[in-house]
Structure 1
Amino acid sequence: MNPDQVIFSTKWFVIRESSRGFQYFERRGKDSIGVFLVRKRTEAPGHYDVLIRQQPLCIDNTEIDGMLKLFPCPITGAIEEGESPEVTAVREAYEEGGYTIEVKSLGHYVVGTQTNEICYLYYADVTGVIPDDPPQDGSYFESISRNEWHPLDYLKSCDYSACQIGYTRLQEVLP
């Protein structure tokens, strides 16, 4: 089998065309993770809140009152070379949320029809856990992002596909 033809390439990504004429985007070695941190609601037994990470979106640089507009998502991150998706999820949960956790898998999905990137989804119940201050990675991106707790149903209204997929899968696994 011949490798797909490279149409355009930078040090960060490649655009390829398959032998059947399909073009797709390939982010060099950067599959990703999404982590849903949940906690039981004390005032509503059997219900959960989820940690939402409000962060900028690279394709929408809208400013509101001099600040970039933020978009809701779970804790996310790129899988570093030599790291497993699970290790990345644990690292990112601490880096962005301050939580030291063990994760449980919610499966994975292909990010889009014109990309070969896979997003691995995880969750952890952090009910009663007091987080450390998140160390973050020092980037401007993370410095303007913020964490908020919302009822689990909030995920249904998010535009980010990981939120909607995560909501469906969390419904299947949470008691």
Structure 2
Amino acid sequence: MAASTIQSLLFSSCSVLMSFLFAYSASVQLNDPDWYFWFPLYAIAFVVNLFQVSFTSKLLGQVALLALWGGILLLLKVIVEDSTYGLAGFWSLDMEERVVREKIGSGLVVISMILHLKSSQVSTEPKRKRQHDSRFALTGMAILVAMSYGLSLYFFAFVKEHMIY
């Protein structure tokens, strides 16, 4: 197999894994008081990650851009809410705090959308630049999958059982 085929297969596999995570994240938002912010964000991230495997189109790029801006706005919302009420602190990873989970979730969406947009750009740059962008997106997506599934495993194994609802 050619190196580009292996890279494409790995990027697609990572996208499918991220789509599973975003589908789960969307499904658990339905009992939140502000579900109308988070459900669409995770649902759109699910669609972009899932359909990236099947095809790349201009419409999918626009949807990814919409999810990127939605994720940025919700990340800013959570940061402002956290700093205003002094809930957890900007660098906190205390996943018992709702704002920390929302900050991580919106951050994952933002990073995922940036990587998808980077990988789907039709570049007029030289071949070397396109290869660099492709490797950047692939490496970033692999790291994103490892981090997001690692954080999810940590949350379900060590944090969720101690949370008070």
Superposition TM-score, scaled by structure 2 size: 0.23
Structure with max Cα Rg: 1
Superposition TM-score, scaled by structure 1 size: 0.22
